[in-house]
Structure 1
Amino acid sequence: MSFPNQSRSFDERRHRVCFWGYDGPIEISFYAAADALQKLSPDMGGTEAWCLKTFDSAVEQIHEAAIRVYERDKGGYAFTLEAEDI
């Protein structure tokens, strides 16, 4: 699993940050839920700017969690990271 694509976006409807990883040529979608981001930065609010800032400041930890979730639940193409995954 690698994360060469540095882009991320905020899904306002589901209140989460979307990012992508690659297992060889296969693109995997990941979503960092607001509760997972809140665990990383409990003092901050839940705005889009806060979610993206928290994601950026903890991107390595989030990528490590994404790898664990992917390895645990291999077989899908989309995974959501919840607070317990961080």
Structure 2
Amino acid sequence: MTLGFPNPSRSFDDERNAIRFTGHDGMFEVRFFIEAAALAKTGVKPRGTVASEADYLAAFDSARVSIQDVARKAYAHGRQTSYVLTAADFRR
């Protein structure tokens, strides 16, 4: 099976300062977190100097396809149950 993202839900995790979203490989759920700082590397920046949760979620939604592509690449390099995507993942 390949990694897919059938559920479009995402949420902001205050403790991690990251957006959480989920992928699925068959019946296996795979958790992903993209650090808020990494959103700038997607080409979309949250509005304002102090971004709110809604700003981060909107930035994620705008770059969802490229973020999911990076998540697939990370998953292909070694299958784990959880991944944290950082700015470095978007330089490749």
Structure 1 runs not aligned, ≥5 long: none
Length-normalised TM-score, structure 2: 0.84
Aligned residues between the structures? 85
Other structure's SS at 2:30 match: strand
Q: Map of 1:34-53 to 2, 5 A cutoff?
A: 34-40=36-42, 41-42=44-45, 44=47, 45=49, 46-53=51-58
Aligned sequence identity (%): 38
Structure 2 runs not aligned, ≥5 long: none
Length-normalised TM-score, structure 1: 0.89
Aligned to 1:64: 69
**Rg larger for:** 2
Q: Runs of 4+ in structure 1 displaced over 4 angstroms?
A: none
Deviation at 1:13, TM superposition (A): 1.5
